[in-house]
């Protein structure tokens, strides 16, 4: 878990707890049936603008962590290439 993820979870603790009751684990809280967030919104238990902010932050966090792992993978393959070219040089 990154610091950013922990920060979002702490800021929106009640929403994170509610989201655990959604029928789907990857619920986007939009049109999914059995969504606990939408149910709480309908009942006026939570604030719609706050949910929107939380969803935006969570989406950004997902985007950031995915690009980070992609970058890591690119770095790995680059090192492999460098190593391979160095070995070729040594053989000569």
**CA 44 to CA 27: how far, in whole Å?**
20
Q: How far is CA 5 from the centre of its chain?
A: 8
Count, residues near Zn ion per rule CB under 5 A: 5
Which one-letter DSSP state was computed for residue 28? -
Q: Among 3-11, 16-24, 45-53, 80-88, which window interacts with Zn ion (CB under 5 A)? A: 16-24
Binder of Zn ion out of 37, 46, 51, 58 (CB under 5 A): 37
Helix (H) or strand (E) holding 15: helix 13-19
Binder of Zn ion out of 8, 15, 27, 51 (CB under 5 A): 27
Residues that bind Zn ion (CB under 5 A): 22, 27, 29, 35, 37
């Amino acid at each position: 878990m990154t610091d950013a993820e922990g920060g979002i979870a702490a800021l929106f603790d009640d929403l994170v707890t509610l989201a655990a009751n959604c029928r789907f684990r990857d619920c986007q809280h939009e049109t999914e049936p059995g969504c606990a967030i939408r149910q709480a919104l309908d009942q006026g238990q939570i604030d719609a603008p706050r949910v929107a902010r939380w969803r935006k932050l969570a989406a950004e966090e997902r985007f950031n962590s995915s690009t980070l792992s992609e970058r890591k993978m690119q770095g790995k393959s680059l090192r492999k290439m460098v190593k391979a070219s160095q070995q070729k040089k040594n053989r000569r």
